[in-house]
Amino acid sequence: MLIAARRPRRGARRRSVARRTPTQPRRVRTDRDSAFGGRPELGRGRGGRDVAGAWRRATHGSGRRIVSDTQIELGLVYLVGAGPGDPGLITLTGAQALRDADVVLHDRLVAAELLKLAENADLVDVGKAPGGAAVSQQQINQMMIDHSRRGRRVVRLKGGDPFVFGRGGEEASALAAAGIPVQLVPGVSSAHAAAGALGIAVTDRRAASAVTVVTGSEGDGDAPPIDWGAVARVGGTIVVMMGWRNFDEIARRLMSAGLPADTPAAAIEQAWTPSQRSVFAPLNQLRARAADLQPPVTVFVGEVTTLATPEVQRNIIGRRVLVTRAAAQAESLTQRLRALHAHVVQLPTIEIRPMRDESVDAAVQQLVDGGYDIVAVTSVNGVALLWDAMRRQGHDSRALSHTCVAAIGSETAKALATRGVVADVVPDTFTSAALADALTEHGVEGTRVLLARASQSSGVLGDQLRSAAANVDEVALYDIVTPNPERDALAELKRGVDVVTLTSPSTARGLSELVGELVDLDSLHTVCIGPVTAEAARQLGFRVVATAETHTIDGLVQAVGRYLAGLGPPAAGIRKPE
């Protein structure tokens, strides 16, 4: 059954496409303006070469121009490659096309994160599940034509590259024949992206100077049958796409053509996704050893499969990593993990609520009036909210010129630096106890100290300074509360994650409150940013499997990578070549 669903605007209820009143056709931007975000210069390469035009000429040998700027009543159709699996592998042009779209016709395996880019578009799943009912190619072509004729911007979103065994050329020809303007947006093909997920290169001067990409599923078109003997004789690397179900026969033909039975080979299922699984084995044993792999599977045959990079560098690909930071602060950790192609699940377990009371204003006024010798800030949130309070009273960083500024952690020090203040004291170990030791080492007897902190902070820093005869005042700049859980994130957590990241004792407490009745906390493998967080997590019942050596976000990401490398491959196994 074909399901078309309208993605709602923010704050609006989702509603059925069938109940929408068709809109009047409207003017659609020209092909280059639409494809390149209103910046025509982005559509040209070096020397002013028309990149979009080159693509059109490459697809249509006649050099016929597909898009006519006079057809402004028709909606532009983008044929977009989404790349394989990981949403980060889409091109910038493809992502912008999704943002501009009125309707998106997408395949089954396209990442859900990409569909979120099309905030105001109708989403139509035209993919085919194995054994399920199919939407025919003719139906898809007609849907694109119909939407275009109604003046709608259309994105046809396909996994990988539509122009490498993706029928993109057929769709472009059908649109051109109907007089529909079309923009081709190639994607990252799994022919080489899947190799990257395996840690191999399809060409390597040590092993292969040629690569042959071939479909293992010969269609019913006019193309001649595959000459497997010729494929075997070319040498180099052979990449087989869409041929897993009949790979035994493919391997037999390659070996009959002279390829040695012990030729190294590898197969990977759903590359760049959390479901990624892979197997290395000789050609004549690959199908049997990887019998539990299910399509889509990409196969690589050749010596390059023996040159895979160490697993420590690639075991994070596709792993499910839970990020528990507050929503406003999660981006830095999320981006670093996604840069390593982890599958990030965001479940904010804390929410920062500023304290707006007289005690904050009074403490800040006393601070800027010179009432304190030392001000200690314990977090990035503390820096931001302290500055907010100072600005409300008309002050900036110059107001602290007479005060020693102390900070816990390099991130807190960076937050101060962006506001024009260089922290005077930052201990090597990012804990309250370490900061207290660093301050008392220089003598704090009789000094006036202001601690700017969260309401739930431990009393370690204040207690140690008071023990050293300092006069300590504490002001709570913000409260930490547990937010309402996000259903999608909870559902993913129930399905299972490989690693949970904890960046503070409060994130550990928040996660315990959110999921303590849903999952066994000891079953969650947590990686903590530092020893204080790790101890808090253990006391709550979490299993702490690693602690960052450097108590920063970068250190946390490194600890996640090291743990996953030591954990080994996913359940199905990345087996080394024999």
| CATH number assigned to the domain comprising residue 107 | 3.40.1010.10
The answer as to whether 315 is a domain residue is no
508 and 437 both lie in a single domain: no
Sole residue written with tokens 């005690």: 359
In a domain, 260, yes or no: yes
Residue 41 belongs to domain spanning: 4-188
Evaluate whether residue 573 is within a structural domain. Answer: no
The mean per-residue pLDDT over the stretch 12-19 comes to 36
Q: Which tens digit of pLDDT belongs to each residue from 337-378?
A: 988 888 899 999 999 999 888 899 999 999 999 999 999 999
Calculate the alpha carbon distances from 302 to 214, 224, 369 in Å: 14, 25, 73
458, 481, 504 - which closes a domain: 481
Residue that is last in its domain, among 460, 481, 502: 481
The predicted model gives 20-37 an average pLDDT of 38
572, part of any domain: no
* pLDDT the model gives residue 18: 35
pLDDT tens per residue, range 493-538: 888 899 999 999 999 999 999 998 888 899 999 999 999 999 999 9
Residues 154 and 80 in one domain: yes
User: Token pair for residue 6?
Assistant: 């309208």
- Domain end, chosen from 171, 188, 205, is at 188
Pair 268, 392 in one domain: no
The pLDDT confidence band at residue 311, using thresholds 50, 70 and 90, is low
Q: Residue 134: what pLDDT?
A: 74
Q: Is the pLDDT assigned to residue 296 strictly greater than 60?
A: yes
Instruction: Give yes or no for residue 29 having a pLDDT over 60.
Output: no
**HEC-encoded secondary structure of 108-153:** CCCCHHHHCCCCCCEEEECCCCCCCCCCCHHHHHHHHHHHHHCCCC
pLDDT in tens, 97-153: 999 999 999 998 898 889 999 999 999 999 866 555 678 999 999 999 999 999 999
pLDDT of residue 310: 63
For residues 231 and 101, what is the distance between their CA atoms, to the nearest angstrom? 41
According to the model, what pLDDT value does residue 490 have? Answer: 85
573 vs 218 pLDDT, higher one: 218
Residues 377 and 472 in one domain: yes
32/157 same-domain check: yes
**Phi, psi of 309, deg, nearest 5:** -70, 160
Give yes or no for residue 571 having a pLDDT over 60: no
Q: Are residues 150 and 114 in the same domain?
A: yes
- SS3 at position 87: helix
Whether 577 is in a domain gets the answer no
Whether the per-residue pLDDT at 59 is higher than 80: the answer is no
The more confident residue out of 353 and 65 is: 353
**Residues acting as catalytic residues:** 107, 128
Task: Residue 380: give its domain's CATH number.
Answer: 3.40.50.10090
| Percentage of the chain exceeding pLDDT 70 | 83
What pLDDT is stored for residue 427 in this prediction?
Answer: 92
Tokens representing 106?
């997408």
Give the chain's domain count: 4
Instruction: Report how far residue 167's alpha carbon sits from residue 169's, in angstroms, rounded to the nearest whole number.
Output: 5
469 and 404 in a common domain:
yes
Q: At what angle do helices 460-467 and 432-441 cross, to 10 degrees?
A: 20
Q: What is the pLDDT of residue 56?
A: 46
Closest CA to 502 of 546, 437, 436: 546
The pLDDT mean for the chain works out to 83
CATH number at 197 reads: 3.30.950.10
- 449 vs 222: which has the higher pLDDT: 449
Shared-domain flag, residues 477 and 506: no
Range in 85-89, 421-425, 506-510 with the lowest mean pLDDT: 85-89
Residues 343 and 357 in one domain: no
Indicate whether 574 belongs to any domain: no
CA nearest neighbour of 300 among 279, 321, 319: 279
Tell me, yes or no, whether 344 and 292 share the same domain.
no
Establish if 314 belongs to a structural domain: no
515 and 370, same structural domain?
Answer: no
- Strands 182-185 and 77-81 turn out to be parallel
Same domain for 38 and 164, yes or no, is yes
354 vs 54, more confident: 354
